[in-house]
Amino acid sequence: MIVKKVFRALFILILFAVFIVFSINAYIVYCRIYKPNVRATPDGRVVYFPTGTTYNEALMILDTARVFVSFQSFKWIADRTGFASHVHPGRYVFKQNMSNKEVLTMLKLGRQKPVRFVIHNIRDVQHLCSLAGRKLEIDSSDIADLLFNEQFIQKYGFNQYTLISAFIPNTYELWWTTTADKFFDRMYIEYRKFWNNDRLAKAKKMNLTPAEVSTLASIVEQETLQPEELPVIAGVYINRLKRRIKLQADPTIRYLVSDTIRRVLNRHLTIPSPYNTYVNYGLPPGPISCPSIKALDAVLDYQRHDYLYFCADENLSGRHNFSRTLSQHEQYARKYRQALNKKRIWR
């Protein structure tokens, strides 16, 4: 009887011990799966998996980036849940307090976060390629090879001079893994969205193509920092185009010489180039920059008036004086030159 009681007590004790061990292990596994394991950072940690990243390389990237409080607990779960066969390239944001389960769900499903790609103050296509190379996985040379391929861009109605007009300044969300082809496809979709029927009708009424509107807008935008002056200046250039008067636009000279010069000199005005609007009639062969939407719409909705000239005011305020006659313009120009001389701005 006593022996039976001893065996029963021993059995209960062993059973209890097994239960305790099982509970502890279960708790450990639970913590490994569900307990927050990503280091706390205000904006999250950004990690990139390049195309072709293997499982071991992904683990090394995560370990080096010090994403986890316990990297070993993540690896333990990853080894057992099939992450090895579900490594997707991309840009991933690890938010604070994410659990290993949440991280693995994100990675295995390839839920990468897009890149904010901002097109603003872009000078030319090469500049755009450099920006894409910095923001996306693709190398700048890869996208340059595509965009400088004359046969490729001709399919979309562009040439080497007008291609920059295909890119509408805005903030876009792109996958970090976007290829060169996909990048241009997306930009062309945005281009088509911008050039809707209403804008196309306005351009047609002005006898300008979208590329020519972009070319004029790129000049107008560099003439002033005052938004309200954009449609007025656009109107001046439209008037000059209609009357076949040379545009004589200083921004086209700065484009040829240097964007940093503050004073266009007489010796600059004879530079042989199709972009020199002091030598050539009409518009340059393409935009001198990537004009903003505001500038594009300012050209399409240019102000109707009879001004043919404008000159920066003598107060150097950034505003302009507008003239209907050459004599009036020359008076303003003389005052402006005197103001530059007084400030000792020679070039």
Least Cα distance to 85 among 64, 62, 111, 56 occurs for 56
pLDDT digit string, tens, across residues 179-224: 999 999 999 999 999 999 999 999 999 999 999 999 999 999 999 9
CB neighbours (10 Å) of residue 318? 11
Residues 138 and 246 in one domain: no
Residues 252 and 311 in one domain: yes
Q: Which of 108, 123, 145 is the last residue of a domain?
A: 108
Asked whether residue 241 is assigned to any structural domain, the reply reads yes
Q: Given this model, what pLDDT does residue 170 score? A: 97
Residues 98 and 54 in one domain: yes
For 3, the enclosing helix (H) or strand (E) is helix 2-34
Asked whether residue 347 is assigned to any structural domain, the reply reads no
- Calpha distance 104→83 (Å, rounded): 7
Span of 5-14, 23-32, 155-164, 282-291 with lowest mean pLDDT: 23-32
Residues 103 and 78 in one domain: yes
- Calpha distance 98→39 (Å, rounded): 9
The three-class DSSP label of residue 248 is coil
Residues 146 and 15 in one domain: no
Q: Into how many domains does the chain fold? A: 3
Query: Confidence class of residue 341 from pLDDT cuts 50, 70 and 90?
Result: confident
Q: Which of 64, 86, 108 is the last residue of a domain?
A: 108
- Secondary-structure breakdown of the chain: helix, strand, coil percentages, each rounded to the nearest 5: 50, 10, 40
Q: Which amino acid is at 228?
A: E
Eight-class DSSP state of 264 = -
21 vs 234, residue with greater confidence = 234
Residues spanned by the domain of 95? 2-108
pLDDT digit string, tens, across residues 251-286: 999 999 876 676 777 788 889 999 999 999 999 999
Residues 188 and 203 in one domain: no
Asked whether residue 333 is assigned to any structural domain, the reply reads yes
- Calpha distance 142→54 (Å, rounded): 23
- Calpha distance 88→347 (Å, rounded): 54
pLDDT digit string, tens, across residues 136-151: 999 999 999 999 999 9
Residues 142 and 171 in one domain: yes
For 175, the enclosing helix (H) or strand (E) is none
- Given a contact cutoff of 8 angstroms between Cβ atoms, the answer to whether 103 and 83 are in contact is no
Asked whether residue 238 is assigned to any structural domain, the reply reads yes
Q: Which of 88, 108, 128 is the last residue of a domain?
A: 108
Residues 220 and 203 in one domain: yes
Residues 168 and 239 in one domain: no
Asked whether residue 187 is assigned to any structural domain, the reply reads yes
Residues 227 and 313 in one domain: yes
Span of 22-36, 140-154, 236-250 with lowest mean pLDDT: 22-36
Asked whether residue 205 is assigned to any structural domain, the reply reads yes
φ/ψ of 12, rounded to 5, equals: -65, -40
Q: Given this model, what pLDDT does residue 333 score? A: 87
Asked whether residue 298 is assigned to any structural domain, the reply reads yes
- Residue 70 CA, chain-centre distance (Å), reads 36
Q: Does pLDDT of 344 surpass 90? A: no
* Token pair in block for residue 268: 């600059």
Residues 140 and 241 in one domain: no
* Token pair in block for residue 172: 């876009």
Q: Does pLDDT of 128 surpass 60? A: yes
Asked whether residue 297 is assigned to any structural domain, the reply reads yes
Residues 122 and 85 in one domain: no
Chain mean pLDDT for the chain: 89
- Calpha distance 50→139 (Å, rounded): 12
